[in-house]
Amino acid sequence: MSEIRFSNLTWDQLITLDQVLDEVIPIHGRGNFPTLEVKPKDIIQVVKEQLIEQGIIVKDTRLNGSTASYILASHNGISYKDLDVIFGVELPSDQEFQVVKDAVLGCLLDFLPKGVKKEKITLKTMREAYVQKMVKVCNKHDRWSLISLSNNTGKNVELKFVNSLRRQFEFSVDSFQIVLDPMLEFYSDKNAKLTKESYPVVVAESMYGDFREAMTHLQFKLISTRKPEEIRGGGLLKYSNLLVRDFKPACEAEIKTLERYMCSRFFIDFPDVAEQQMKIESYLHNHFIGEEKSKYDYLMTLRGVVNESTVCLMGHERRQTLNMITLMALKVLGEQNILPNTDNVTCFYQPAPYFAAEGGHPTYYVTSGPPPIFFQPYHPLHFHVPNGMV
């Protein structure tokens, strides 16, 4: 029996979609640039029209990832941060990538407040003022670009322009995409109102494959994926995030195998400890804004997975990574003026600022205020972690 990938949104889901698309999201400008007040339905429509006008073939527009999951299961406590929009486009050459970038930056000018003189504002200036990051990927399997618009609370508007993308999800619960074109067409009629008797048919698709199975995972907060070795970074950081948010493995029998694949792919993509730390720090910055107290639990959950399921590293490499994650966790506690359980940590009070540590182990510290506290961990490190994660 073939898997059914598609399902029509219910009336309640459609109302939630309408609320998400109609919500005003601030795009914060750097320096003296004013905040742009943007409704998703407006910027999606304007960008789509501008792309078509510039000769770009737009196949469809979709809401992706956690936002789509929220619309399908908002009653279940599912939340979202980024507004992730996919434009299915044709990008046969570098010229089309440039056209897309210029079109988006040009559209942002339309959202500047009244009274702002736009004539002397260049596209480069708009990029520096409102774009958090830009990504361009061109290889054998993937051809896409991303423009992320800045929001100081972490609710970024992410516009992704996809010609081809081999892997479009990490886990079943974030595999949903909602096709927006029927809603955009409905909004174009200024007199139209959503009623149970008159509303567009909107389709959702699970890139995981089996829509019903993926919805079951979402409703019951279950973790499942396919071929994690195909995911850049193995899905390891997202997996640890799901665990912290009380998701459970859909199949306990296979999760350890999946964890080993996740760890292996993560260390293939990020072999150096410095690279690993940068990636983890970036993930924390993007996914834990306003959730400072959850960072420690996340890091120690991640450490537990790495400790239990890493089979591809030499012993000293594994210890380096574990120590790096532990130090990041200690730093988080220090920033919050919280101390960990120190049963297995040796602490030194050092009143002299010029003290030089002796011996073969570095001295680590948390600068949470006087007097300074220095941590010199044993090898291997063991810290008390809630829920027995280590």
Residues whose CB is less than 8 angstroms from the CB of residue 225 and which lie 6 or more positions away in sequence, other chains included: 170, 171, 172, 208, 231, 235, 258
pLDDT band at 115 (very low <50, low <70, confident <90, very high): confident
> In this structure, are residues 187 and 45 in contact, taking their beta carbons and an 8 Å threshold?
yes
Taking phi over 0 as left and psi of -120 to 50 as alpha, with beta for the rest, 110 belongs to alpha
Paired tokens of 365: 């510290």
* pLDDT, tens digit, 9 for 90 and up, residues 192-237: 899 998 899 999 999 999 999 999 999 999 999 999 989 999 999 9
Pairwise CA distance, residues 272 & 270, whole Å = 6
Instruction: State residue 342's pLDDT score.
Output: 53
Average pLDDT over residues 108-131: 93
Residues above pLDDT 90, as percent of the chain:
70
Instruction: State residue 375's pLDDT score.
Output: 45
DSSP string, 73-126: HGGGT----SEEEEEEE---SHHHHHHHHHHHHHHHHTTSPTT---TT--HHHH
Instruction: State residue 337's pLDDT score.
Output: 73
Paired tokens of 317: 């490499």
Paired tokens of 73: 């299961």
Average pLDDT over residues 256-275: 95
> In this structure, are residues 129 and 105 in contact, taking their beta carbons and an 8 Å threshold?
no
pLDDT band at 74 (very low <50, low <70, confident <90, very high): confident
Average pLDDT over residues 156-179: 96
Instruction: State residue 54's pLDDT score.
Output: 96
Residues facing 108 on adjacent strands: none
Nearest to 204 by CA among 179, 167, 184: 179
pLDDT band at 8 (very low <50, low <70, confident <90, very high): very high
Instruction: State residue 198's pLDDT score.
Output: 86
Q: What is the DSSP letter of 195?
A: B
Q: Identify residue 124 by its one-letter amino acid code.
A: K
Q: Identify residue 387 by its one-letter amino acid code.
A: N
pLDDT of residue 381 exceeding 70, the answer is no
Taking phi over 0 as left and psi of -120 to 50 as alpha, with beta for the rest, 237 belongs to alpha
Instruction: State residue 374's pLDDT score.
Output: 43
Pairwise CA distance, residues 335 & 330, whole Å = 9
pLDDT band at 161 (very low <50, low <70, confident <90, very high): very high
pLDDT of residue 389 exceeding 50, the answer is no
pLDDT of residue 165 exceeding 80, the answer is yes
Residues facing 205 on adjacent strands: 6, 177
Instruction: State residue 335's pLDDT score.
Output: 85
Instruction: State residue 2's pLDDT score.
Output: 53
Average pLDDT over residues 324-343: 81
List strands edge to edge, sheet with 6-8: 6-8, 203-206, 176-179, 58-64, 83-89, 157-164, 143-149, 131-138
Q: How many CA atoms lie within 13 A of 354 on its CB side?
A: 0
Pairwise CA distance, residues 272 & 278, whole Å = 10
More confident position, 360 or 115:
115
pTM (predicted TM-score): 0.83
